Structures are given as C-alpha cells and as structure tokens.
A and B are shown apart, each in its own frame.
Chain A
C-alpha cells in the first residue's frame, strides 16, 4: 500500500528528517518511507520511488510530508505517523526550554554580543541571510551549498569591505578561538594557523599537527570555490592577512586544490611578503611557484602538518614520503596481507567519505595504476567507463550523486555500508577507507566500517577468500568519538590502521605492487 500525509507549515531541517526516515524504514512491514519538506528535490525522489499520490499535489517547501510504501497487514500509516511524532518529540524534549527566535535579526537582539552566524539552511535562502549577518557586522560560516558563484562573490566582497570572515558557501570545517565549527576535530591550542579551501584536507592536517604534539591558533575555512578565477581567493587572502597580524600565530598553513593561475599568483605574491613561515599544500599542484615565493610545498596532507611543526620548532624541514613504522615492519605487513589473498583477487576498492582524502589517494595511486572514480584524474577513468567491477575503484561517497535525499556519509554511514555490499566481491584484494571523527561526524563511524568489513568477510568465506582492509582515522584523542576507541574497534575487525591517510594510501600501493594488481 502507498500512502502519504502532509502537515502544512511545519518546518524541520533536512538532516533531522533524513535520519528519522531511516529509523522508520526499519519498522516491520515498511518497504520504503520518505519524510521531507515539500521541495522539488524531495518530490522528485518520491516520484522516483513511485510513492507520489494526490495528497502531495499541493505540497509546498514549507510543508512536511511523510510518504510510505508498506504492507498494511503488518503496519498502518497511523503507526508510521506516530513513530515520526515520537522521534520528533524526543528531539524537542532534549532542547526544551531554549528560546528559539524566529529570525536572524531577533536572534542578534536576543543573544547580545553575537559575533558569528553559522548557516546551514537550504542554499536558495542562504545568501540573503548571510548578507543580513555581514551587514550587521557578524562573521559568517556557511555550510550551505547550491549558492550561486555570483552571490558568493558579492558576499565575499561585502565581507572584505567590512573586514569580516565569509567562510563558504560549502565550507565544512573551521576552528575559531578553539571552537570546532560544523565538521571539525578537537585539537590542542597552539601556534600554527591554517586557511583551508578543502574540508577533510583541513581536518587531516589539523589532527596530524595535534598528534605531533603541537596545536592550532585559528583554522579558517574558505569554501571550495574561493580560489577560482571568479572569486579570486578573496577569503584565503583575508585569512592569510589576519593570521599574519595574529600574535598567537607563528606558522601559517594553506591547503586547497590547485588554484586558478591568476589566483595562485595573488596568493604567492602575498606569501612572498610574509614575515612568518608559510607551508602550502595545493594538492597535486606545481611546487615551483611556492618555492619561488620562499614558502614550503608539500607531498601530502600529513607532510604539510609535519613541515609546519618542523618550522615551528626550528627543525630541519624535509619531505616525508615514508612510514612511521620501520621498513621491516612495513614489509612484513605487506607480505602477510598479500599472502591472505587468492590469485584472482586483484582489485582496489577505496571507499571514502572525505573528498580531499579520496583525492589524495587517487593522485598517489593513479601514478601507477588505472583508478576509476567519480572524481577521476582524467575523463577516461570516469567510473561509468569501467562498467562492472573488474578494475581499481576509488570513490568520494560524499559527492552529490551519492547523497541525493540522504545525509553525507560522514553523518550517516549508510551509503558506504551499501557500497561495501555492492562493490566488494571475490575479485577485491584491498579495501581502503577513511574514518573521519570529530564534531559533525557520525557517533561511531569506526563501528560502522567494522560491521561492513565483518559482513563482507562472511560473504567471501563462501568462496574461501579473505580481504585486506586498510584504514586511517582522522581524529584526535579529544574528539567525542575518541581516537583510541575508534582504532581499537577497527583493529578488532582485522583492519590495518595506519597513522595517516597518506601512509594508508602508500601501504595500499605497496600491497598492490606485491600482488601484481
């Protein structure tokens, strides 16, 4: 049976609703259920799931709907609606007593002395609210995406004019005055400042700095498009200038995908004048102009962290492209791993939740192996060109194509759990994963990976096969999920845990070389 209900003028955020949908799907007798606001995107999803009915014809983006396909001998629509109400009420009770002003302006009046607005409302409404915030003299962190590049430019111009931060749109990570915003880790306070245009890239560098015993003064996000020609690096420049003036910052780290050449020149020119050491990771970009500017280029995200720490301590700065563990130990790990595989197990499955971490893996492994991906190095390596599963695959599961109507895989591991089921088979040799913890992330991503690995191993047992699984955890011992606990969970599931994404990727490269993948 297919049924739907609509509640007029009831607004809830998308992540809350997607997580509730998921819970409701596990109710006995439910085949499919979607709870959402009546946006075009959500209604398209309902149509695709063939659950659209007359009730939904007049629904607006301000209305909540529940659409379900279920076996009416096992469950009723009324029970489903009750289940929704129970879950939403539980959430409400948790935050009962807080005053929630209806508009940004009333929030500014109410909080008094507010200095930053964090925006994660749907993209089409986000620019207007950000402009209100900036005009009121408040800094902005904008997680929302689907904001036009024209709006982004305008907002950043206003911010620069007023000397404010406009972090984003599509900015996932920042740590301001020690407070992690959106997706960020709890790191020690210290004397390294960072400006990042890539979320998980920033997370990886900050946690490695923390693990090396140093800390961060400020971590400023720019959003992924800041270094495009149209935006001209407005926020990265604003961030660098602030860190140069900041007495708490002694070393500056910049991380981004390779900028547009005109933007790169602006940044490099500014860095040339800097009176503090600057480490730059333009992931996979050209090192020559960085060196010419007197700055330090990097070979990986981890390398950026190590170099920043070395510069801070006045130690020798050199490329780190090896392992923490001694070579004999690594060789043994590689041999042991290779010996567990059958002759026809040849392929890599890298299933990433962090885009920059996936990018780092593809750039390194892609030098020696054809890696098929949704973010391929060259168009001929697009996943669609592979067809089946006979090839090496590395995916960024956080890209839009995998997250329509569901939360990002860092919030909800479901997408990766499904890919484990569909993409790991008897031809798979090595599975490579990231486990990103910290604020914003799922409460136990390591547990979800361990479960998927156990299930995959059980399936392969029928073919008398095993799997090699390599992971790294982007996190610190101060994160709510706890780094040590996450590592233990992974290791108990027979997963090799490396100290960084770069080392995990390198180890996978060595295993692939060994088995002649």
Chain B
C-alpha cells in the first residue's frame, strides 16, 4: 500500500516495545495490538543471528 493510499485509510497499528505507546493508542480508540515481544533466542546475539538467517531462507 503506497503512502497516499495509507492517507485514505483508518490507521491500524501493531505496537512492539514500550507498552505506554500501546496504551496511548488504545486510549484514543485507535485499532491496535501489542506484540508480547521478547528478544529472540533469549537475547543470545549469536543464536539470534543464526535464527535470523534461517528465517531468511
């Protein structure tokens, strides 16, 4: 969807990270969902990068 098409739609937001941003969107009745995000591979960078490469396959 191009930027100009986005301008014509209702905003539907996926929030990842700070929960306060999600709560503020919700308080404005914006259609939104919060991802229960956790670092991949328990924060192990090496493992996360391997997983990232696998996902890219």
Is A62's CB under 8 angstroms from B43's CB?
yes
The interface bits of chain A over 4-44 (1 if a CB of B lies within 8 angstroms of the residue's CB, else 0) are 00000101011110000000000000000000011100000
The residues of B that contact A101 with a CB separation of less than 8 Å are 33, 35-36
The residues of A that contact B6 with a CB separation of less than 8 Å are 115-116, 139, 165, 176-177
Is A120's CB under 8 angstroms from B43's CB?
no
Minimum Cβ distance to chain A for residue B53 (Å): 11
The residues of B that contact A119 with a CB separation of less than 8 Å are 16-17
Q: How many A-B residue pairs have CB under 8 A?
A: 166
Within 8 A of B (CB), among A143-183: 143-144, 163-165, 176-177, 179-182
Is there a chain B Cβ closer than 8 Å to A98's Cβ?
Answer: yes
The interface bits of chain B over 10-47 (1 if a CB of A lies within 8 angstroms of the residue's CB, else 0) are 11111111111111110110111111111110111100
Minimum Cβ distance to chain A for residue B31 (Å): 7
Is there a chain B Cβ closer than 8 Å to A384's Cβ?
Answer: no
Instruction: Given A13-B19, A62-B43, A176-B6, verify A115-B36 contact (CB < 8 Å).
Output: no
Is there a chain B Cβ closer than 8 Å to A118's Cβ?
Answer: yes
Is B7's CB under 8 angstroms from A121's CB?
no
The residues of B that contact A113 with a CB separation of less than 8 Å are 12
Minimum Cβ distance to chain A for residue B18 (Å): 4
The residues of B that contact A248 with a CB separation of less than 8 Å are 7
Tell me the count of chain A residues lying within 8 A, CB to CB, of chain B: 69
Is B3's CB under 8 angstroms from A15's CB?
no
Is A107's CB under 8 angstroms from B18's CB?
no
B interface, CB within 8 angstroms of A: 1-4, 6-7, 9-25, 27-28, 30-40, 42-45, 48, 52
A interface, CB within 8 angstroms of B: 9, 11, 13-16, 37-39, 60-62, 91, 94-95, 98-104, 106-108, 110-111, 113-122, 124-125, 128-129, 133, 137-139, 143-144, 163-165, 176-177, 179-182, 217-218, 238-239, 241-242, 245-246, 248, 411, 439-440, 480
Sorted nearest first, the 9 A-B pairs with minimum C-beta distance are A61-B43, A120-B17, A242-B3, A100-B36, A62-B42, A121-B17, A163-B2, A62-B43, A11-B38
